[in-house]
């Protein structure tokens, strides 16, 4: 990690320690401090996605209609600059960047297919595109991968009853294939939901918002992340980054069924990051 990033991390740690020593006096203030730090760490983990969502909304509101560079192309160049900046600054490791790249490619391939079958469209022009899909769209998937990779590290994840990676890999592959095949054959998503409960239901994730690790069922964690992605998707479609068929005549909330799609997509991202962390301890050995 670059020296500047190490200094920033140490400065933030010292700052938090000083505030903790000054303000934490009992269980109520300790709980408030932990809750505040949890929110700060979550915001830091979704830095890439938050910046991209902000750019999507701001360009929708203020980007000049007669600009020489299309809005989608501007978003693509911004996303590329942000990703490179996070990598070279040390905010993301090279191993995390590889996972994010794989998820980016996986997402772009799905985008090409989904737009061809009419699942959604990109209503604006773009120079940087593949088969009609603007290249900035792949960075939306990269943002999800970036979040999973960073939140794993920032919250020092530990697991009890962590499923075998080979089983997780098969599940992720089945989820990805079903995103394509359900247009032509039986949709297996409900079976996949059941499979995720069987595989991840017994698993407990331990995360560290402050000094102690806290437990949560892994399935609940994945559902909560999918819910926030669904909220972000509503903002994205409101800002016309892409639109669904029922939004052509005017914006309406994204179908709640998409929450299930994001939950399944989260499985793919989670498994990719899990492979990066293979070989590490899964049992919690921190203060609890």
The full set of domain ranges for the chain reads: 38-276
Contact 238, 251 (CB under 8 A): yes
The whole-number pLDDT of residue 27 equals: 77
Q: Based on C-alpha coordinates, what's the Rg of the chain?
A: 20
Helices (H), the chain: 3-23, 27-45, 47-62, 71-89, 94-116, 136-154, 165-181, 189-200, 218-238, 257-276
Name all contacts of 179-184 with Cβ < 8 Å and 24+ positions apart. Answer: 179/110, 179/114, 179/261, 179/264, 179/265, 180/110, 180/113, 183/117
The whole-number pLDDT of residue 22 equals: 63
Ordered per-residue pLDDT tens for the chain, 288 residues:
445 555 555 555 666 666 666 677 677 777 888 888 899 899 999 999 999 999 999 999 999 989 999 999 999 999 999 999 998 888 888 888 888 888 899 999 999 999 999 999 999 999 999 998 999 999 999 999 999 999 999 999 999 999 999 999 999 999 999 999 999 999 999 999 999 999 999 999 999 998 889 999 999 999 999 999 999 999 999 999 999 998 988 899 999 989 999 999 999 999 999 988 876 555 544 433
Residue holding tokens 């409900």? 190
Residue 239 tokens read as 């800002």
């Amino acid at each position: 990690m670059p020296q500047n990033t190490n200094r920033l991390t140490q400065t933030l740690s010292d700052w938090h320690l000083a505030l903790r020593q000054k303000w934490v006096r009992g269980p109520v203030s300790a709980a408030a401090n932990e809750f505040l730090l949890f929110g700060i760490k979550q915001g830091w983990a979704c830095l890439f996605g938050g910046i991209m969502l902000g750019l999507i909304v701001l360009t929708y509101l203020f980007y000049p209609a007669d600009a020489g560079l299309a809005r989608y192309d501007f978003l693509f160049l911004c996303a590329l600059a942000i990703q490179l900046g996070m990598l070279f600054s040390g905010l993301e490791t090279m191993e995390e960047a590889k996972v994010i790249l794989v998820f980016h490619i996986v997402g772009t391939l799905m985008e090409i297919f989904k737009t061809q079958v009419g699942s959604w469209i990109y209503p604006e022009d773009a120079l940087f595109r593949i088969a009609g899909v603007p290249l900035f769209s792949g960075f939306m998937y990269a943002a999800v991968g970036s979040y999973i990779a960073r939140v794993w590290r920032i919250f020092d994840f530990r697991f009890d009853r962590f499923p075998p990676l080979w089983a997780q890999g098969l599940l992720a592959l089945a989820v990805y294939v079903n995103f394509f095949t359900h247009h032509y054959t039986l949709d297996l998503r409900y079976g996949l939901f059941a499979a995720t409960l069987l595989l991840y239901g017994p698993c407990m994730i331990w995360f560290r918002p402050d000094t102690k690790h806290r437990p949560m069922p892994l399935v609940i964690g994945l559902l909560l992340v999918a819910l926030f992605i669904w909220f972000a998707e509503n903002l994205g479609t409101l800002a016309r980054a892409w639109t669904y068929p029922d939004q052509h005549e005017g914006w309406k909330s994204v179908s709640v069924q998409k929450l299930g799609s994001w939950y399944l997509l989260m499985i793919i991202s989670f498994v990719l990051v899990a492979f990066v962390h293979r070989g590490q301890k899964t049992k919690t050995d921190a203060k609890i």
